[in-house]
Structure 1
Amino acid sequence: MSEAGAAKREVHVAVAVIERDGRVLIARRPDHAHQGGLLEFPGGKVEPGETVQQALVREIAEETALVVPEVSLEPVIGIRHDYGDKRVFLDVWRTCEAQGAPQGCEGQPIDWIRPEQLQDEDFPAANRPIIRAVRLPSLLAISPSLSSVREYAGGFAGALGQCRPELLVLRAPELEDGDYRALLESVLPVCRAAGVGLIVHGGPDRFAVAPGVAGLHLPWREAELLGCRPVPADVWLGVSCHSAKQIAQAEKLGADYVTLGPVRPTPTHPEARGIGWDEFEQITAQARVPVFALGGLVAADVPRARRAGGQGVAGIRFWWPGD
């Protein structure tokens, strides 16, 4: 077999998201390197006999002089990408406990950058999911039933004031489009005042009549009908998924994140079997987008979700009184 026809070997690359004071550490690749001139997260090849954590501790020290406690590393996402001339597996981990002042030990420029400043075009193509994972919160709030809203005297403003999630999915499947639009118009100013990004739940038509929202979350019944991304690149696109096959379709649509579950049985869907953390981890390991664990979970479950490779937790119970 010719060299061109030979199967490409996959390169295992350890990647670090180093966080400090609301910023992440970024370096610029040397011009002569693969994807030269683009920005990158610190890291490098995992050597034979190394664990990915050992590789990260070594690479971060060699590249930046920072000391990273191995136990502080948490999985973020795993990404397989074929560049044509090279196939890589990016094994991404995060830490907020790096010690010392960073230096460009290999002559590379480095800087601390706020997540919202990270732009896809400045990085190699495979880094898109990493950027999403860095910019997304660990908690994705979902609105409760309308009956629960009516029972809570404080309403959305009161609940948002207590919890203040970064993103809220306005889910009200019982409403027709006109009634949903009225609900949206009443909730959106409350979210803006609280600094919460509001995400429309439903089909693309609902997003089209909702200027000023932070994005669109597609139920699976809507996502399976689409062949391309239905919203602009500068807003969030999420998809509700229940299997690896559905996540693969969400990736084809250009989703920025997905929810996966139920991980545990929930009071609202007691008949639905919880997939459990082991299955959640197995499915998430194959995903190329950030995955929120969903179903019977609370904020205290975020560390467990992250150990399983998830972005965090999505749901109602962690922020809405009485749910």
Structure 2
Amino acid sequence: MPNTVPESVEGLSANRKTVHVAVGVIVRDGRVLIARRPDTAHQGGLLEFPGGKVEPGETVQQALCREIAEETGLVLTEDSLEPVIGIRHDYGDKCVFLDVWSSHSAQGEPEGKEGQPVSWLAPEALKDEEFPAANRPIIRALRLPHRLAVTGTIEDAPAGLARLGAALDRGQPDSLVVLRAPTLSGAAYLELAAAALGGCRERGVGLILHGAADLCRAVPDVQGVHLPWCEAQLHSERPVSDDYWLGVSCHSAEQLRYAERLGADYVVLGNVLETPSHPGQPGIGWAAFQALAATANVPVYGIGGLGPEHQSRARALGGQGVAGIGFWW
């Protein structure tokens, strides 16, 4: 995550300089510290994650430690901060770059030093409409896992279900699994999904379908749907309700922008490294992944030749984490 506003952010407006804002996701006992903006402030009355403007000569970490202390009295250390997401947003009257970092080790008890109410809320209790629009990707990033498990291609439903159960029992998925079976017929895939849903529920794992957007209507109790790019490009607006996760596979900056316009909750980007399934075909590499993730206003998973051992690197470069097949399937 950068310590200065990226050049791409400066292009949000030809006439207005972008404000670089350090934002803190302070976590304690699974809950997040939330404040309410003063009625007289920009976007007044809405909830927010605490933080403030990065002053000249400050790193984002220095700014965040200072702002959190000034606003809430909590004490942070720079080495406790981990990157979450960077968000560029044009409000029309104001352009901002939100440089979001988290800490699980803030010291002290929070209070609204500027008269603002503060409280601890579970990520599931955070509602989009109660926050400024630019904060909404932060909510997605907090709710999504850092490791997204994707099944290998399932060609036989009974064998695929058995393998899925064994893979889940090994404990590699975090909290979501994407179910891929592109060679199955529509009816066979729906039967597979219904059966897989039960096994995932028993193990506390959410199921994401893979393919057409209308699959959610056929299996309504799933967590969402992941669209391959060939499917995503067929839509001009979000094709599922906000009750479901919407993921999109992307391979370029243009596809990232398209996914954002669709209202995607996350994207999968790659291949980052060469994969066993495509020997001799180099991935885009970490530098390109970082550059593309820096332009995205949604959580970005790296995919392709990646496993849990790459999770920290993907996050340090601005990603949500890693997605993949080989590390668990």
Give the shorter-chain TM-score range: over 0.9
1:104 equivalent among 109, 112, 116: 112
Which deviates more from structure 2 when the two are superposed, residues 226-235 or residues 206-215? Answer: 206-215
Output the amino acid matched with 1:301.
Answer: H
State the alpha-carbon separation in 2 of the partners of residues 276 and 151 from structure 1: 34
Does structure 1 residue 318 correspond to structure 2 residue 323?
no
CA displacement 1:62-96 (0-9 Å, x = unmatched): 11111111122222211111112211111111122
- Aligned equivalent of 2:68: 60
Alpha-carbon shift at residue 269 of structure 1 (Å): 2.3
Contact 1:149 1:155 in 2 (8 A): no
Q: 3-state SS of the aligned residue for 1:313?
A: strand
CA displacement 1:258-313 (0-9 Å, x = unmatched): 00011111112224321111110010000000001111111121111110010011
Does structure 1 residue 28 correspond to structure 2 residue 36?
yes
- After TM superposition, the score normalised by the length of structure 2 is 0.91
Which deviates more from structure 2 when the two are superposed, residues 83-92 or residues 242-251? Answer: 83-92
- Aligned equivalent of 1:7: 15
2:215 equivalent among 206, 209, 212: 206
- Aligned equivalent of 1:44: 52
Output the amino acid matched with 1:160.
Answer: L
Residues 65 and 268 of structure 1: is their aligned pair in 2 closer, same or farther, counting only changes over 3 Å? same
Alpha-carbon shift at residue 150 of structure 1 (Å): 7.1
Contact 2:157 2:192 in 1 (8 A): no
Contact 1:14 1:46 in 2 (8 A): yes
Output the amino acid matched with 1:210.
Answer: V
Contact 1:79 1:288 in 2 (8 A): yes
- Aligned equivalent of 1:197: 206
Contact 1:285 1:309 in 2 (8 A): yes
CA displacement 1:175-210 (0-9 Å, x = unmatched): 121221121122111011111111110012323311
Contact 2:268 2:303 in 1 (8 A): yes
Does structure 1 residue 139 correspond to structure 2 residue 142?
no
- After TM superposition, the score normalised by the length of structure 1 is 0.93
Residues 99 and 215 of structure 1: is their aligned pair in 2 closer, same or farther, counting only changes over 3 Å? same
State the alpha-carbon separation in 1 of the partners of residues 281 and 264 from structure 2: 25
1:218 equivalent among 227, 230, 233: 227
Residues 6 and 77 of structure 1: is their aligned pair in 2 closer, same or farther, counting only changes over 3 Å? closer
State the alpha-carbon separation in 2 of the partners of residues 132 and 303 from structure 1: 19
State the alpha-carbon separation in 2 of the partners of residues 192 and 259 from structure 1: 24
- Aligned equivalent of 2:99: 91
1:245 equivalent among 254, 260, 279: 254
Residues 16 and 157 of structure 1: is their aligned pair in 2 closer, same or farther, counting only changes over 3 Å? same
State the alpha-carbon separation in 2 of the partners of residues 131 and 183 from structure 1: 31
- Aligned equivalent of 2:274: 265
Alpha-carbon shift at residue 136 of structure 1 (Å): 0.7
CA RMSD of aligned residues (A): 1.9
Residue identity over aligned pairs, in percent, reads: 61
State the alpha-carbon separation in 1 of the partners of residues 143 and 28 from structure 2: 14
Output the amino acid matched with 2:110.
Answer: P
